[in-house]
Amino acid sequence: MTSTLEREDDVAAAGPAPLRLGTLTVDPAVVLAPMAGITNPAFRTLCREFGAGLYVCEMITTRALVERNEKTLQMVRATTDEADAFSVQLYGVDPVTVGRAVEMLVDERVAGTRPAHIDLNFGCPVPKVTRKGGGAALPWRRRLFEGIVRAAVRAAGDVPVTVKTRVGIDAGHVTYLDAGRIAEGEGAAAITLHGRTADQLYSGTADWSHIARLVDEVGIPVLGNGDIWEADDALAMVAATGCAGVVVGRGCLGRPWLFADLAAAFAGSGRRALPTLREVAAIMHRHAALLSADQGERHGCTDFRKHVAWYLKGFSVGSDARRALAMVSSLDELAALLDRIPDQPYPTEVLGGPRGRTSSPRPVALPEGWLADRDDPRPPVGAELLVSGG
């Protein structure tokens, strides 16, 4: 992005080398994290244009994919520009179903192209997933975890498979070290660690020391995740942990140009974008236009509404204008509303602050008896059916 206002700090230490995942090279070693309702084709396009090295689609439920659920098949499609770098994250709790879903992606090319990369979600902390034994709850059952990773890697062939997880269920049920060793042993190409336990959700501060410990424990690349709000946070994480790259989620909400900052930082440049409101407005309109091209104008603009507050965070915009923008229903209406807001510099006071979801810690919802036997290889009864649907 060309900005009329950028800050240029002293040249910083460069980030890690390009990330190698099998035959796939991720340069810069920066991954857009999958986020439900966010990382659709429109947002992935923006992030790619600004410099994301790898951009992962929304989490796909394996049972729904295997059943060829129409909504799921729509979610898993690649854009024309993603033909060589389409990345899919899968969620599942049954090795057979996960293996079949991977086969469909790799052999049948149900996404319209063969994926360049498949990630397995073992980090989701939301109750509707963990109470069925999925997401961040699943690595506690290490034999089941092993079976899922093995099935995915075997079905993927030469397509690299990675794993994303959290520190554990809670401080008393830590899983990430076993998960890392098992993932490496089963042929995973890399592992991403979010530096929080599931019961923390998105509260407090991510503990990067666990990322550093995992780097010391496994031989495959470890990617760090958690509290990367600015490019300098990514540099700090790499320096503190030795991780091979970073995965960015909430930090890019309303700020897809963060990936340009990250690319500059990893190249050793101190250049950081500080777009004016007029420049942000242009990005907002392009985002809505991409959504509209994909979903139709009415639905696209409706989908865009949730992004408005993120884009305008810190800017001096009246409540009436914000309310109108949050109810926009056409591209012309969006353009007219944005044009009425006076231009202004980027609000630097919001830099480094959290974005997106925040929450308070709470106990993790788990299936009955889930913690009793770590070596039980069986998937939780009925889990796939109850959480499927894309």
- Find residue 174's DSSP bridge partners: 168
Categorise residue 113: left if φ over 0, alpha if ψ from -120 to 50, beta otherwise. beta
DSSP 8-class letter at 80 = G
Amino acid at 306: K
**What span, in angstroms and rounded, lies between the C-alpha atoms of 325 and 335?**
10
**Segments in 186-305 forming alpha helices (H):** 209-217, 231-241, 258-266, 277-295, 297-304
**Are 81 and 47 contacting, i.e. CB atoms less than 8 angstroms apart?**
no
Written in H, E and C, the secondary structure of 289-342 is: HHHHHHHCHHHHHHHHHHHHHHHCCCCCCCHHHHHHHCCCCCHHHHHHHHHCCC
Backbone angles phi, psi at 167, to 5 degrees: -60, -35
> What is the per-residue burial (b if ≥16 Cβ within 10 Å, else e) of 10-32?
eebeebbeebbbbebebbbbbbb
Q: How far is CA 328 from CA 269, 285, 386, in A?
A: 38, 11, 34
Nearest to 389 by CA among 4, 8, 61: 61
Give CA separation, 64 vs 61, 75, 89, 116, 389, in Å.
5, 11, 13, 21, 5
- Contact assessment for residue 134 and residue 381, using Cβ atoms and an 8 Å cutoff: no
3 state SS of 63: helix
Residue 6's beta-bridge partner residues? Answer: 273
- What is the signed CA dihedral for 40, 390, 130, 92, rounded to 10 degrees? -100
Is-catalytic flag, 252?
no
Distance CA 346, CA 6 (A): 10
Catalytic: which of 47, 57, 124, 252?
124
| C-alpha to C-alpha distance for 188 and 333, rounded to whole angstroms | 47
Instruction: Quote the tokens at residue 16.
Output: 């890690």
The set of catalytic residues is 124
